[in-house]
Amino acid sequence: MDFNGEEPNIFEGISTAGTGNGAKVYLETYGCQMNVNDSEVVASILLANGYSITQEINEADIILINTCSIRENAETRVFGRIDLFGQVKKNKPSVIIGVLGCMAERLKDELLEKKKIVDLVVGPDAYRELPTLLRAAESGQKGVNIMLSADETYADISPVRLDKYGVSAFVSIMRGCNNMCSYCVVPYTRGAERSRDPQTIIHEVEELVRNGYREVTLLGQNVNSYSWSESKGMVKHTVNFADLLEMVALVSPFLRVRFSTSHPKDLTNDVLYTMAMYENICNHIHLPVQSGSDRILQLMNRKYSRNSYLNRIQAVREIIPDCAISTDIIAGFCTETELDHDLTLSLMREVGFDFAYMFKYSQRPNTKAARHLVDDVPDEIKSRRLTEIIELQGKLSEESKKKDVGKRFEVLVEGTSKKSDDFYVGRTTHNKVVVFPKEASSIGDFVLVEVTSCTPATLIGKIVDE
Ligand code: SF4
């Protein structure tokens, strides 16, 4: 899985009337893209039940925080936010405070016992119950549901879109994970893997296209294990991820298609051939490696070796020669030696990743690693190794960007640059961010941009004619 940083996403102000009597909900989201999409589902459920959404915490009747448990500092940050919500509640005691998502699932008792101000604790599979739980909270009870489901995919719910420009949307294709990587809390907080009916996915994508969206990202903890089976009479029909990818690509040639996240053990050549076949499927794969050492990969229960990972990279290079590859790396996992660390650095050099999310190992309670392995790499060593990994990736990312200078790319205009109103920001098929003067283009356009220079994080260019 991958992460979209530590900054929260806050919903824009939108509202409808109905049985929630227009009560105003402030919704803050932490963690991965799946969480962002879950918040869109939550907003949809609340709006359908007559609640309204506000961006202003001080005018909220209900404050919800959708949480992430992937690392300790993510949880610490959320606890800090809950304390701040407590200040809001001091001034307005009727405010209901709810914790949603992975922390609700993992820390229900702690939240209810230590954070008395929390009125609502709702796990990732119980969002349909939110209106009922909110009514319980409104009547002074604690609203709690952390039941995990074997089949909930929210397939019939049309998420309210978070992207304020209406250009790029996340579409959840599956939930949960069966992989049981030893360091990971996701199988415990999000339950077992369930794939969503492909027809509901296609309907959602078609609706997005009708509403002017130009890009979708298909989301799942491990999209390559997507599998949907249906029996018609004696015939069983199965849709795998390569099939689904093709179905989505065929919705419109003007819709860019991305997906995240791929597990290296499940990335098939069929998926790569489908990517190569359709121009509108972006040339970018996020393939988390985590470590370059076989011994560590085994302790992590990743179910692939260094060699088999490199074989997958070779397959990507052969089938889609112009494909960007990004990854996730963990520094300082249990028992990691200098040799293991050097193997990670050498693998990074060998692949030449275009981008990476890099973290220090953070032990998560009740995971297999927490139960059976010792978190024995001292923090200063973890930090030093992480610094070395970040420095190396900085060089690799810069090399990757420098190769783009002088080239032309089709860029989807996604919004105005945060640094200047005179510039737009967009991405290439390789998922690289490009900044360029606005000129005659508009948000949602595909434009041809010539890259003139780059910073370590961004390409800089100008719009050119064909
Ligand atoms: S168990 Fe492994 S594959 Fe599943 S979400 Fe966690 S890290 Fe990703």
Q: In this structure, what CATH number is given to the domain that contains residue 271?
A: 3.30.750.210
- The pLDDT of residue 161: 85
Q: Which domain holds residue 298?
A: 289-403
Residue 299 forms part of a structural domain? yes
Q: What is the CATH number of the domain that holds 419?
A: 2.40.50.140
State how far the Cα of 176 lies from the Cα of 189, in Å rounded to an integer: 8
177 lines ligand 1 (CB under 6 A): yes
- Rounded to the nearest angstrom, the distance between the alpha carbon of 356 and the centre of ligand 1 is 17
Asked whether residue 349 falls in the same domain as residue 458, the answer is no
Q: Which amino acid does the sequence have at 2? A: D
Q: Is 158 left (phi over 0), alpha (psi -120 to 50) or beta?
A: beta
Asked whether residue 134 falls in the same domain as residue 43, the answer is yes
- The pLDDT of residue 15: 46
- Rounded to the nearest angstrom, the distance between the alpha carbon of 176 and the centre of ligand 1 is 9
- Rounded to the nearest angstrom, the distance between the alpha carbon of 362 and the centre of ligand 1 is 15
Residue 153 forms part of a structural domain? no
Asked whether residue 312 falls in the same domain as residue 221, the answer is no
Looking from the CA of residue 1, the nearest atom of ligand 1 is 8
Q: Which two tokens stand for residue 183?
A: 């360091």
Give the chain's domain count. 4
Looking from the CA of residue 180, the nearest atom of ligand 1 is 1
Q: What is the CATH number of the domain that holds 371?
A: 3.30.750.200
Asked whether residue 63 falls in the same domain as residue 184, the answer is no
- Rounded to the nearest angstrom, the distance between the alpha carbon of 5 and the centre of ligand 1 is 17
Parts of the chain with a pLDDT under 50: 1-6, 13-18
Q: Which amino acid does the sequence have at 307? A: N
- Rounded to the nearest angstrom, the distance between the alpha carbon of 221 and the centre of ligand 1 is 6
221 lines ligand 1 (CB under 6 A): yes
Residue 1 forms part of a structural domain? no
State how far the Cα of 32 lies from the Cα of 45, in Å rounded to an integer: 20
Q: Give pLDDT tens digits for 2-24.
A: 433 445 665 554 444 445 678 99
- The pLDDT of residue 235: 85
Asked whether residue 179 falls in the same domain as residue 134, the answer is no
**Ligand 1 atom 8, closest CA:** 1
- Rounded to the nearest angstrom, the distance between the alpha carbon of 1 and the centre of ligand 1 is 6
Residue 158 forms part of a structural domain? no
- The pLDDT of residue 232: 80
**Ligand 1 atom 2, closest CA:** 181
pTM for the structure as a whole: 0.91
CA distances from 3 to 57, 130, 371, 388 (A): 25, 26, 25, 21
- The pLDDT of residue 81: 94
220 lines ligand 1 (CB under 6 A): no
Q: What are phi and psi of 244, to 5 degrees?
A: -65, -40
Residue 74 forms part of a structural domain? yes
SS (H, E, C) 239-280: EEHHHHHHHHHCCCCCCEEEEECCCHHHCCHHHHHHHHHCCC
Residue 172 forms part of a structural domain? yes
Which of these three, 282, 300, 316, is where a domain ends? 282
Q: What is the CATH number of the domain that holds 105?
A: 3.40.50.12160
Looking from the CA of residue 261, the nearest atom of ligand 1 is 8
- Rounded to the nearest angstrom, the distance between the alpha carbon of 31 and the centre of ligand 1 is 14
Looking from the CA of residue 302, the nearest atom of ligand 1 is 2
